[in-house]
Amino acid sequence: MARHDASRARQDLSGNDHRGAFAACRRLLPLVLCCLLALLAGCAAKGKTGDAPKPTGFDSADAKNVHDFIARYPDIAASGDGKAMLRLLTEDARYVPLLGNAIRPIRGGELPKQLPAVMAEEKRLGLRLSWREPMDIQAKGEKASVRVVADLAWNQSGQAKQAVMSCYFGLVRDENLLWKIKEFHGEPVGPDFRLPAKNPNLKPLPARDAPHKPAKGKRVIKGEPPKPAPAAKPAPQPQAQPQPEAAPPSDGTIVPMHDVPKPLF
């Protein structure tokens, strides 16, 4: 009987151990599932990040300021606020609207009259504008230029329209050192259009104070080119011989001078 009780006790202990291990596994299972889900989410995010366009790189602080300035442009263009757009332009700016098949730019003196109507029409059509990164930004001194690809969407006659535009901005600083748009226009391009990449093989310019290295090899100093020989003088032409005077006609007899007949008086 005692042996039976001991065996039964051992079985109970073994069963309790199995149940405890199973319960521990059940408690750890949610944690393991969370770790797996986090790992899968990280892999998915990594894959999406690799496919996303690279952001614009900045060569200088001016280039970054230009990028931030252009990044605010789509919101103002879609707002329909003509006065806000005028504040971004110089007084002599040339501006070509994105919609309306406009070719001739609106020039500085015409902007205060025509631009508010253009902006109101674009808002009525529901213009939506977004940039594709990276932008091609060239900033030097008081001037800068930006080339960027834009995705456009609007509604026309109850139909949704889309287009891709290659846009150009010409910028200058004003007296307050703020960037202003001096020129803007865009042209339609294909959906797969990309801006040409910058040439990475260009050699950087040497430092301003860098010493000049002597040229390799022997330096040959060339003199002045030989002067052309003077043209040869033409040979003198022989002088023409005078023609002999014709002899007076006679009957063939020669009269001596001392035998010339003398007058009678």
Q: Which residues of 37-69 are buried (b: 16+ CB within 10 A; e: fewer)?
A: eeeeeeeeeeeeeeeeeeebeeeeebbebbbeb
Does the global pTM surpass 0.85? Answer: no
Q: What architecture is domain 61-189?
A: Roll (3.10)
What's 104's DSSP letter? S
Q: What does the domain layout of the chain look like in residue ranges?
A: 61-189
β-strand 159-173 against 143-156: which pairing, if any? antiparallel
Whether 142 and 173 have beta carbons less than 8 Å apart is answered as: yes
Whether the per-residue pLDDT at 116 is higher than 60: the answer is yes
Q: Per DSSP, what are the bridge partners of residue 172?
A: 143, 180
**Residues 63-105: tens digit of each pLDDT:** 999 999 999 999 999 998 999 999 999 999 999 998 877 678 8
Lowest-confidence region among 31-35, 174-178, 206-210: 206-210
Rg from Cα positions in the chain: 50
Whether the per-residue pLDDT at 213 is higher than 80: the answer is no
Confidence band for 229, pLDDT divided at 50, 70 and 90: confident
**Residues 14-66: tens digit of each pLDDT:** 555 555 555 665 666 666 666 666 666 665 544 444 455 556 667 788 999 99
pLDDT at 49: 45
Q: What average pLDDT does this structure show over 97-122?
A: 87
Lowest-confidence region among 35-49, 122-136, 161-175: 35-49
How many other C-beta atoms lie within 10 A of the C-beta of residue 216? 6
Q: What average pLDDT does this structure show over 200-219?
A: 54
pLDDT at 50: 46
Mention every residue, 6+ apart, whose C-beta is less than 8 A from residue 38.
none
pLDDT at 249: 56
Q: What average pLDDT does this structure show over 225-231?
A: 75
| Closest C-alpha to 91, from 106, 73, 104 | 106
